[in-house]
Chain A
Amino acid sequence: MNEVFSVTFLVILIFSTIRTATPLIFASLGGMFSERSGVINIALEGLMLSGAFTAAVVTYQLNNPYIGFAAGMIAGGLTAVIYALAVIRFEADQVVAGFAINILMLGFPAVISSRLYDSAGSTQQIDIAYQFPPLSKVFPFLPWPFLNDISLAAVLAFLLVPICWYVLYKTPFGLRLRAVGENPGAADSAGVNVVKLRYLAVILSGVLAAAGGAYLSIGQSSLFTRGMTAGRGFIALAALILGKWKPVPVMFACLFFGLTEALAIQLQGVVKLPSGEDIPVQFIQMIPYVLTIIVLTGFIGMSRAPKALGIAYRKEN
């Protein structure tokens, strides 16, 4: 066991955790805006997929990861518009409509990619020169170690945390957003445009979640594969609940889930059972999901959802 938990192991684990937490932070913070305005966002998974797919296609076509990343975010925003129309304009059940977005983003990218590349499963491989860069490539003049191990996207994700905190707690937009999520009727009578604010919040959540997805396809990997988020949207949602819908705790919750995923990857084939056999990979894969259930069940009492979460708002006349 000693050699397992060596310094190298810890260093690798830390960077691995940052890597796995990055898409979760984007998606969780995105979900935070939507849910703080009172709209449940189970569509995070689909929004991430739309960003991942668009970013991979645009980056491959234009050989520019920055434009690709931005395109992914725009696609996420547009996908969120569909969701927002359904749940805000038409008052569709938010969980059901969100789920539909997730199914849509399983099928739609495959339809397009089979037309573009004759492959329903995935997009074309992006050359390493055009993948979303690590810091060492953005700042080649900095002499620091480890810059090769941290993606520019990770920096953006962690920078977003204080920014989101500021927006949520120190700006009029944030104040209105929180008011709308807690008591839309009162916010409305105070002159806040509830519907418009919810649209904005949901679209913003699409943009951010898609950024997380874009990082997955053009940063962490080099192409889009069908359903590549593999449940990360749901884990991000769990992190949002665990983090009590507040930016800084949400970040820590994402780091926690990132750590479980990183551990799962790193323990594979390293830690042995007493009998000397490998721990079956399936048990390692289960860790994040089982932990999510345990943690959410244990902490649910301490976590209070926005009061109007999940309830469509209809102006009284």
Chain B
Amino acid sequence: MKIFREVLWPLVAVVAAFMIGGIIVLLIGDNPLTAFYHLIGNSFGSLHDIGYTLFLATPFIFTGLAVAVAFRAGLLNIGAEGQLYVAAFAAAWVGIKFGGTVVNIFGKEENWSWANLPALLLIPMCILAAVVAGGIWGAVPGILKARFGSHEVINTIMLNFVAIALVSYLTQYYYKIPGDPIMQTAEIGQNAQIPRISQYIPGMPDFVPLSVAVLLAIGMCVLVYIFLWKTKWGYELRAVGENPSAAEYGGISPKKQIVIAMTISGALAGMVAIGEVLGYRYRYYDGFSDGWGYLGIAVALLGRNHPLGIFLAAIFFAVLKRGEIFVDIETKYVSKDVVEVLVAVTIIFVASLQRYARR
């Protein structure tokens, strides 16, 4: 019964959002059924569709988990976007500096790296860099809240703007190949690049950018579940989220838990870099995030802050993201922005139905 209720309300919210979206599509002069067919009908038809959907779901899984861990501690981390930006840059930086990157500047070769480490060493280092950078960027608002009581919502929003500007500065002035018209760093070394799934699955085309990062994302769902519900640390974190004063009375320091939760949250958000930098673009690319940090809030909410729910919600959002381009092309008037409307309305419904779900 409990499971049924957990699934029912998010589903009701999604259906309601599609109904409202359908009305909007109707009003602007298109057929909602065709529009929605193009929106969700291209996600699972073939191996390569499934590959793309999983590729698009990967960042949502990480940011959804990130937001959920903070949520469980009673915090709203709106800063996943900034956290994944600094993490992506950090991963690319290590991949360049220790990956033997040699760049070609107007026909002249220049060595930008300090070393050329083997993949077995370099990939974990890049991942560590992303996790640490994201974790630090998440810890800052946590510390500010624990130490000074300033609200994490405002601070994480502000830190997003700071992170994006900071990383853009580093890219433009130090790690962009001179003459490159695109705001992106040089490519990370071969040894920093993680393998694509297409290598292992016959029939999966090479151009599908799905990398082994998706396996890590699924692994993190399991780990977060174990952490939150099967360990003492997870119990303490959730206790603070449910009732800070009772937790404090029970000997748990809410301040410490706030910092821990925000650090873990930032680290999880930072893992987006693994799929995007090490597995897809092989560089930091300015504006590479499709709002994953922000949408992570929606993923966590729709997934009821539970790893399994988050996985399903991430797939749902990936389907919408995959479909937006088809809607844009295949319908006469509907633009891809209709996805944002659907997402927003879904969040409003999920948030509004929350109190019925709790009963």
- CB of A238 to closest CB in B, whole Å: 6
Q: Is B337 at the interface (CB under 8 A from chain A)?
A: yes
Indicate if the CB atoms of A93 and B354 lie closer than 8 Å: yes
B23, CB-defined interface residue at 8 Å: no
A1 to B158, CA, bound (A): 30
Q: Interface range on chain A: under 10, 10 to 19, 20 to 34, or 35 or more?
A: 35 or more
Among B337, B339, B345, B354, the one with the most A-chain Cβ atoms within 10 Å of its Cβ is B337
Contact of A296 among B28, B151, B294 (CB under 8 A): B151
Task: Report B-chain residues with C-beta under 8 Å of the C-beta of A96.
Answer: 76, 297, 301, 347, 351
The answer, yes or no, to whether B168 is at the interface (CB within 8 Å) is yes
Report A125 CB to chain B, min CB distance, Å.
20
Q: Which of A108, A112, A114, A290 contacts B162 (CB 8 A)?
A: A290
The CA-CA distance from A246 to B24 in the complex, in Å, is: 39
Q: Which B residues are CB-close (under 8 A) to A283?
A: 165, 169
**Judging by beta carbons under 8 Å apart, are A82 and B339 in contact?**
no
Q: Does A110 contact B (CB under 8 A)?
A: yes
Most chain A CB within a 10 A radius of its CB, from B150, B297, B343: B150
Q: Which listed residue, A97, A234, A238, touches B352 by the CB 8 Å rule?
A: A97
Instruction: List residues of chain A with CB within 8 A of the CB of B337.
Output: 106-108, 110-111, 114, 120
B335 interface residue per 8 A CB criterion? yes
DSSP majority for the B interface? helix
| A186 CB–B CB distance under 8 Å | no
Q: Are B162 and A289 in contact (CB under 8 A)?
A: yes
Q: A104-B345, A286-B165 are in contact. Are A90 and B355 (CB under 8 A)?
A: yes
Q: Which of chain B's residues 304-359 have a Cβ closer than 8 Å to chain A?
A: 333-341, 343-345, 347-348, 351-355
- Distance between B208 CB and nearest chain A CB, rounded to angstroms: 27
Q: Are B161 and A289 in contact (CB under 8 A)?
A: yes
CA separation between A108 and B344, bound complex, in Å? 10
Q: Which residues of B sit under 8 angstroms from A298, Cβ to Cβ?
A: 148
B78: interface (CB < 8 Å): yes
The answer to the question of B29 belonging to the interface, with a C-beta cut-off of 8 Å to chain A, is yes
- Decide yes or no whether A100 CB sits under 8 A from chain B: yes
* In the complex, residue of chain A having the shortest beta-carbon distance to the beta carbon of B348: A100
Name the residue on A nearest B167 (C-beta). Answer: A282
Q: Which residues of B contact A231 (CB under 8 A)?
A: 157, 161
B344 touches A104 (CB 8 A): yes
Give every chain B residue within 8 A of A42 (Cβ-Cβ).
153
8 Å CB contacts to B: which residues of A4-32? Answer: none
The reply to whether A115 and B343 contact each other, CB–CB distance below 8 Å, is no
A101 on the B face (CB < 8 A): yes
A-B contacts, CB under 8 A, total: 145
**Nearest B-chain residue to A96, judged by Cβ:** B351
Which B143-159 residues have C-beta < 8 A from chain A? 144, 148-151, 153-155, 157-159
Does B333 contact A234, Cβ atoms closer than 8 Å?
A: no
Does A285 have its Cβ within 8 Å of any Cβ on chain B? yes
CA distance A86 to B353 in the complex (A): 9
A240 CA / B168 CA spacing, docked (Å) = 30
Let me know if A92 is at the binding interface, CB within 8 A.
yes
Given contacts A234-B157, A293-B144, contact A103 B150 (CB under 8 A): no
| A103-B347 contact, Cβ under 8 Å, with A90-B352, A115-B333, A234-B157 | yes
The smallest C-beta distance from A90 to any residue of chain B, in angstroms, reads 4
* Pairwise interchain contact A285-B165, C-beta atoms closer than 8 A: yes
Is the CB of B4 closer than 8 A to any CB of chain A?
A: no
Is the C-beta of B249 less than 8 angstroms from some C-beta in chain A? no
A interface list, Cβ under 8 A from B: 42, 82, 85-86, 89-93, 95-97, 99-101, 103-104, 106-108, 110-112, 114-115, 120, 231, 234, 237-238, 241, 280, 282-283, 285-286, 289-290, 292-293, 296-298, 300-301
Task: Give chain B's interface residues, CB within 8 Å of chain A.
Answer: 24, 28-29, 76, 78, 144, 148-151, 153-155, 157-159, 161-162, 165-166, 168-169, 172-173, 294, 297-298, 301, 333-341, 343-345, 347-348, 351-355
New A-B contacts (6) at CB < 8 Å, excluding given A106-B340, A290-B158: A90-B353, A96-B347, A97-B352, A100-B298, A293-B162, A300-B149
